[in-house]
């Protein structure tokens, strides 16, 4: 891996020592610079293999974003190159549609071992900004509260709302996995007609004060708790918005 190129893509200038401070800084910078996006599913691009060199070419050299597995798999490679101890964990994403059963290996999250263990996830869109301690309880992040619970051999991550109602995000196992264990599900998420990631085109990233999202034909800007959403005008070019807000260069004619 060309680590310096990756760090330049993230515009990261902090410490490269395998410390909690560096992990937190790298996590935030990754969320701010490399978006979650499923544009490939709507551009008739070939499925992406879950291999580090392939992901590096797309996300770093190609200045693209990625989907769940791709973002965390590549981030794990970067962390390992810096001396962090990283494990792949499998997660089942809680469906918004109650008729769809969650699938195993639908998401890949990371466990990083320092003096304590930390949950790391740069591949789930609007979630926590900094790593969460792998300890049951309520943990603040990004102005919101997240809750980790243990259910036998599984853990769950819930995002709480001000009204006290929580939304389950995913359930995960702390059994270490291999990257190739996720390959089949990652391909299915890209190719299956009923893939939940095919519902609508999405590109989103954290900003220093909120989030910017291009969802279908809607641009959504959130800053300091204020949310503005507008539909794109018929003459408005999506490729220009993708470039100005996300730095994503789409193929000519896309």
User: Residue ranges of the domains in the chain?
Assistant: 3-246
pLDDT at position 181: 96
Angle of helix 183-191 relative to helix 68-81, nearest 10 degrees?
140
Q: Which residues of 41-64 are buried (b: 16+ CB within 10 A; e: fewer)?
A: beeeeeebebebeebbebbbeeeb
Each residue's pLDDT tens digit, 17-36: 999 999 999 999 999 999 99
With beta carbons less than 8 A apart as the criterion, state whether 2 and 59 touch.
no
Each residue's pLDDT tens digit, 228-237: 999 988 767 8
- The answer to whether residue 252 scores a pLDDT higher than 70 is no
pLDDT at position 72: 98
pLDDT at position 198: 87
With beta carbons less than 8 A apart as the criterion, state whether 149 and 135 touch.
no
With beta carbons less than 8 A apart as the criterion, state whether 197 and 181 touch.
no
- The answer to whether residue 253 scores a pLDDT higher than 70 is no
pLDDT at position 99: 42
pLDDT at position 103: 66
In this structure, the dihedral spanned by the alpha carbons of residues 131, 158, 76 and 152, taken in order and rounded to 10 degrees, is: 110
- The answer to whether residue 150 scores a pLDDT higher than 50 is yes
**Segment 69-91 mean pLDDT:** 97
User: Rounded to an integer, what distance in angstroms lies between the CA atom of residue 204 and that of residue 244?
Assistant: 13
Percent of the chain at pLDDT exceeding 90 = 70
Which bin fits 78, alpha (ψ -120 to 50), beta or left (φ > 0)? alpha
- The answer to whether residue 148 scores a pLDDT higher than 80 is yes
CATH of region 3-246, choose from 3.40.50.300, 3.30.420.40, 3.10.110.10, 3.30.2140.20: 3.30.2140.20
pLDDT at position 102: 59
Task: Quickly state the pLDDT bin for 101 (edges 50, 70, 90).
Answer: very low
pLDDT at position 98: 45
pLDDT at position 251: 58
List beta partners, residue 111: 87, 119
């Amino acid at each position: 891996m060309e680590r310096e190129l990756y760090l330049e893509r993230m515009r990261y200038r902090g410490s490269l020592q395998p410390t909690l401070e560096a992990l937190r800084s790298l996590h935030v910078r990754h969320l701010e610079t490399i978006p979650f996006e499923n544009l490939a599913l709507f551009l008739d691009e070939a499925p992406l293999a879950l291999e580090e060199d392939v992901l590096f070419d797309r996300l770093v050299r190609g200045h693209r974003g990625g989907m769940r597995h791709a973002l965390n798999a590549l981030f794990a490679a970067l962390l390992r190159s810096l001396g962090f101890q990283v494990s792949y964990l499998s997660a089942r994403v809680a469906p918004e549609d109650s008729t769809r059963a969650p699938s195993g290996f639908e998401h890949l999250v990371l466990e990083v071992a320092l003096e304590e263990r930390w949950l790391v996830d740069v591949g789930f869109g609007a979630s926590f900004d900094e790593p969460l301690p792998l300890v049951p309880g309520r943990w603040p992040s990004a102005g919101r509260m997240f809750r980790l619970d243990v259910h036998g051999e599984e853990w769950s991550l819930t995002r709480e709302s001000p009204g006290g109602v929580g939304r389950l995000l995913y359930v995960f196992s702390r059994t270490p996995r291999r990257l190739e264990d996720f390959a089949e599900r990652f391909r299915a998420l890209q190719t299956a007609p009923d893939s939940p990631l095919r519902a609508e085109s999405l590109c989103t990233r954290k900003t220093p004060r909120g989030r910017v999202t291009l969802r279908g034909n809607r641009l959504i800007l959130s800053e300091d708790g204020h949310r503005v959403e507008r539909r794109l005008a018929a003459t408005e070019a999506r490729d220009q918005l993708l470039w100005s807000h996300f730095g994503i260069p789409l193929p000519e004619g896309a």
